[in-house]
Amino acid sequence: MKPIIAVIGGSTCTPEETVVAEETGRLLAHHGAVLVCGGLGGVMEAAAKGARANGGTTVGILPGADPRAANAYIDIPLATGLGEMRNFLIVRTAHALIAIGGGVGTLSEIVLAQRIGKPVVGLHDSFRTTVDIPRVESAAEAVQWALGRAQQEVV
Amino acid sequence: MKPIIAVIGGSTCTPEETVVAEETGRLLAHHGAVLVCGGLGGVMEAAAKGARANGGTTVGILPGADPRAANAYIDIPLATGLGEMRNFLIVRTAHALIAIGGGVGTLSEIVLAQRIGKPVVGLHDSFRTTVDIPRVESAAEAVQWALGRAQQEVV
Amino acid sequence: MKPIIAVIGGSTCTPEETVVAEETGRLLAHHGAVLVCGGLGGVMEAAAKGARANGGTTVGILPGADPRAANAYIDIPLATGLGEMRNFLIVRTAHALIAIGGGVGTLSEIVLAQRIGKPVVGLHDSFRTTVDIPRVESAAEAVQWALGRAQQEVV
Amino acid sequence: MKPIIAVIGGSTCTPEETVVAEETGRLLAHHGAVLVCGGLGGVMEAAAKGARANGGTTVGILPGADPRAANAYIDIPLATGLGEMRNFLIVRTAHALIAIGGGVGTLSEIVLAQRIGKPVVGLHDSFRTTVDIPRVESAAEAVQWALGRAQQEVV
């Protein structure tokens, strides 16, 4: 089974977050992981763009009922019609999560991950004084961490 | 329409939290509000006990599929079978929320409330250094705050 | 624990269905049951009107996020924001269901009830040639059937 | 955007249904569609096996929280933890559906598809006297029908 790694973060983001999200997507695809994200813009789009550039599979779990809301780099747009409750599905379906930047939606995903015991790592996430999760400083470290934890989840 | 107020907090709690949750439930019922909670023990049970003591209606939105998991003070146990995703339904269906004590499940509810713009107030909640929400110091103030905000929601 | 009985049926209905739904609601309240329905018009509104007239408690599990979409006889409008997926919650949270008239949404609820083993009875339902469920000919019989089955569920 | 086609049917099935489901999966992959299914055995497994044999991508939307419950031919197991409510997500996320054989779970998916206006075709489905949907007699016709309708959905 391929590892399924979620990259979570804001639908708008800084240039630095864009760069690190795209690099994370590239590395995930390089290591054969499936990328899951919320399917919209910002960090989600950058990560999907990176994964797509390396031939990876990208899944977007969308809040609305229209798959065409997905960004251009999503192979499999899952239009749930669930609104923000789709955040829960991202957390539930990923083997591990990488948080980059992010606002309150991303924070809800981190907290839900903690709630159900799903591994989540912060990579320049916005919540350093808010939630106590492992942190790393580079896309390479984040991907290594997530793949290591995913392996424990799926074995 | 009666206001629907959620009391959120841990399934285990301190004696002080029990007292304040029960007092909150009593006051909500006194003012004609419907109490919504997660239906289990701790803060949820204390709030429901207080509401019931004053003749209020108590709704428990349960994670499992068996309504018998509800505490003894729940009039209407809604057994969703949704697991932790039921937290979202508590947030969605309340007009306003009061957080007492709480662990990471409660934090997820606070953050989801912020995410969808639902009013939430902290009453001796556990997240003073974590999330930026209004705070009050007594059950009476919490109930007044929640009812005031609920009124704006439902008008 | 009070029995929780769902009355399911179309948001538009015939005068005959209106009469039988209202009578069903009245009898459910008379016997101390909580009425759950989809919260909108037609059969849902008639059943809630009948229950309210007898002092019963009425719960409306709404598809949208706005509690004000509930009909005038709903005490507790639960605005789920889940769209048609809210049908599943009606089925899940009821101890037994009574189907009156109905279109394809009602059929989905009957089939979901069969799928998870929840008791459902047809009272002049629209699906006599479609699904194999018990049928009765009067509101009194439907309520007796549903309360009997609910008792087995909750004990 | 690749078309996303759901194949729905029983977790146990006849040898004839197995053959037609596998052929359907093969043809969907041949035409570049993503296969979505419930991820378990029977029709779901046969369709995924066929799609995988032709290099297609297979998504399994599972009822439980453990991705390891997926059959061996699922590339992307989405473990929702939603129970039977996951049926709704299959219907919601597909552009079109093909029903093969099936019991009451499959019927619930057909009816939910009708409810939200999602195209669904029967291929030797079990509900010829139950629901009024288009029917075809071969895997090739079913795939042609589904891809034609999906194209209208996603354009």
- The SS3 assignment for B80 reads coil
Residues of A in contact with C83 (CB under 8 A): 65, 81-82
- The SS3 assignment for C154 reads helix
Indicate yes or no: CB of D81 within 8 angstroms of CB of B81.
no
Using CA atoms, how far apart are residues D12 and D18, in angstroms rounded to an integer?
9
Indicate yes or no: CB of D115 within 8 angstroms of CB of C130.
no
Nearest to C61 by CA among B7, B84, B119, B89: B89
Run of H or E including B143: helix B139-154
Identify which has the larger pLDDT, C71 or D153: C71
Question: Above pLDDT 90, what percent of chain A?
Answer: 92
Interval D12-59: pLDDT, tens: 999 999 999 999 999 999 999 999 999 999 999 999 999 999 999 999
- The SS3 assignment for C51 reads helix
List b or e across C50-78, with b for residues whose CB sees 16 or more CB atoms inside 10 angstroms: bbbeeebbbbbbbbbeebebbbebbbbbb
Using CA atoms, how far apart are residues C85 and D100, in angstroms rounded to an integer?
23
A101 backbone φψ class: left, alpha, beta (φ>0; ψ -120 to 50): left
CA distances from D82 to A78, B123, C5 (A): 16, 32, 23
Say if CB C67 and CB B1 are below 8 A apart: yes
pLDDT at A154: 62
Indicate yes or no: CB of C84 within 8 angstroms of CB of D85.
no
Beta strands in D80-145 (DSSP E): 96-101, 120-125, 135-136
Shortest Cα distance, chain A CAs vs residue D110, angstroms = 17
In sequence order, the 6+-apart residues with CB closer than 8 A to the CB of D56 are D25, D28, D29, D30, D33, D34, D35
- How do strand B96-101 and strand B4-9 relate by DSSP bridges? parallel
Q: What is the mean pLDDT of residues D65-90?
A: 94
Interval C55-113: pLDDT, tens: 999 999 999 999 999 999 999 999 999 988 999 999 999 999 999 999 999 999 999 99
pLDDT along chain B (155 residues), means of 10: 95 97 98 98 98 97 94 96 92 97 95 95 94 97 97 72
pLDDT tops 90 at residue C155: no
Of B34, B77, B81, the CB nearest to C76: B34
Indicate yes or no: CB of A57 within 8 angstroms of CB of D59.
no
Nearest to B1 by CA among C80, C60, A22, C146: C60
Q: What is the mean pLDDT of residues A83-92?
A: 93
Interval D97-141: pLDDT, tens: 999 999 999 999 999 999 999 999 999 999 998 899 999 999 999
Using CA atoms, how far apart are residues D20 and D137, in angstroms rounded to an integer?
10
Using CA atoms, how far apart are residues B94 and B6, in angstroms rounded to an integer?
6
Q: What is the ipTM of this complex?
A: 0.91
Residues of D in contact with A92 (CB under 8 A): 65, 79-81
Indicate yes or no: CB of C2 within 8 angstroms of CB of B89.
no
Run of H or E including D150: helix D139-154
Per-residue tokens: B134: 């209004």
Task: Count CB atoms within 10 A of the CB of residue B65.
Answer: 15
Identify which has the larger pLDDT, B140 or D83: B140
pLDDT tops 60 at residue D155: no
Question: Above pLDDT 70, what percent of chain D?
Answer: 99
C29 forms bridges with which residues in the sheet?
none
Average pLDDT of chain C is 95
Average pLDDT of chain A is 95
pLDDT tops 70 at residue C154: no
Shortest Cα distance, chain D CAs vs residue C54, angstroms = 33
Using CA atoms, how far apart are residues C8 and B38, in angstroms rounded to an integer?
25
Say if CB D5 and CB D35 are below 8 A apart: yes
Per-residue tokens: B23: 């007092």
In sequence order, the 6+-apart residues with CB closer than 8 A to the CB of B17 are B9, B10, B42, B43, B46, B100, B101, B124
Cα dihedral A87, A93, A94, A98 in deg (nearest 10) = 0
How many beta-carbon pairs under 8 angstroms link B with D? 13
Residues of C in contact with D80 (CB under 8 A): none
First to last CA, chain B: 9
3-state helix, strand, coil in chain D (%, to 5): 45, 20, 35
**B123-129 CB contacts, 8 Å cutoff, 24+ apart:** B123/B20, B123/B24, B123/B98, B123/B99, B124/B16, B124/B17, B124/B20, B124/B100, B125/B9, B125/B99, B125/B100, B125/B101, B126/B101, B126/B102, B127/B99, B127/B102, B129/A129
3-state helix, strand, coil in chain B (%, to 5): 45, 20, 35
Residues of B in contact with D65 (CB under 8 A): 83
Computed from CA positions of residues A131, A132, A136, A139, in that sequence, does the dihedral angle turn out positive or negative? negative
pLDDT at B130: 86
C5 forms bridges with which residues in the sheet?
C35, C96
> Would you tell me the crossing angle of helices A104-116 and A86-93 to the nearest 10 degrees?
50
